[in-house]
Structure 1
């Protein structure tokens, strides 16, 4: 519509210019029927002027629309390329995320195992320390030898006793050149598994006879 208005204005201006040439007064149109020479009017020039005006108005508009379409297409293409690149980036990052999650779980499992190992190590160190204290205590105390007689089981019970070797007999044996077990310099305990006390005494006297210089002192039954 603006283009048509401008064309009409151009045509009107051309007519007024022609009228001014006929009357000698600018802007004053002549009496078209009587005075204006329609045959000598330059219709081709007017038409060319109208076409030129239309082209001068339409070409920039078409060029602007073409440029706008081109920019829209470039923007859409770049946006699509960015979206596609972002999708490819997400696809490439996904295995890394899976690997990171697996490594995190493995690290947590290792940390848990390490904590359990530290707990076991602490418990072992405590047991070793306790055993070392017991060993130190035993080193400071004289040794005690335990002699077990009989076979446990059935109706047999365990009877406890203490045994000694007569020092006079031991001295006489050494004087005669006979060896004496050095264990008798320390404490000696006996556990006899027997049906009753009498059987336990007989078993102990058979192994440690009183005539051989041994002395056996019985206590209550173990169980």
Structure 2
């Protein structure tokens, strides 16, 4: 029989508990460990399909009277799950890679940005390790650019691209938290080095619900300076 750490366990648990995907347990673990989302928070979920992180994010906001908002963006049209989500959750169909910072800011409460940003974006895996890792870094770089503005990674002369019509500030509020999924490679450490300069704390985690064959790893950044 499969144990509590096996992929089959998390798949069955997602079905039993009403989560639309096993990925819910990845964010549940990070939320339990790092307390990323507080009651009343404003959350932006990049690459939100199929909606499991929307469920966990809304759960973490607390009761409806606590307020808060969860905005999910995905290139696919995402139906908001009935279970765990309420009127505080909305989704937008858009390509994050073409998303301008000002457009995303307009989705936040009073246009003041978000207190938490989550990126579970991942490229369509080709099986070519170097290609997949490069595409993953591109997606992660976009999430980081949206969060903190124009960014230059350590040991690199190239900046993470910033939208031409946006200011220097990112969407993430001061003191805010950021989660970025990457496919582990030699380049991923640069993300960690950079984020340690911009955040009070930056940690790597491989959630228990990650499939054993996957190279997925998450960078958890807390407290934007």
Q: Which has the higher helix share?
A: 1
* Larger Rg computed on CA atoms: 1
TM-score norm. by structure 2 comes to 0.17
Structure number with greater CO (CA < 8 Å, separation at least 6) is 2
Q: Which has the higher strand share?
A: 2
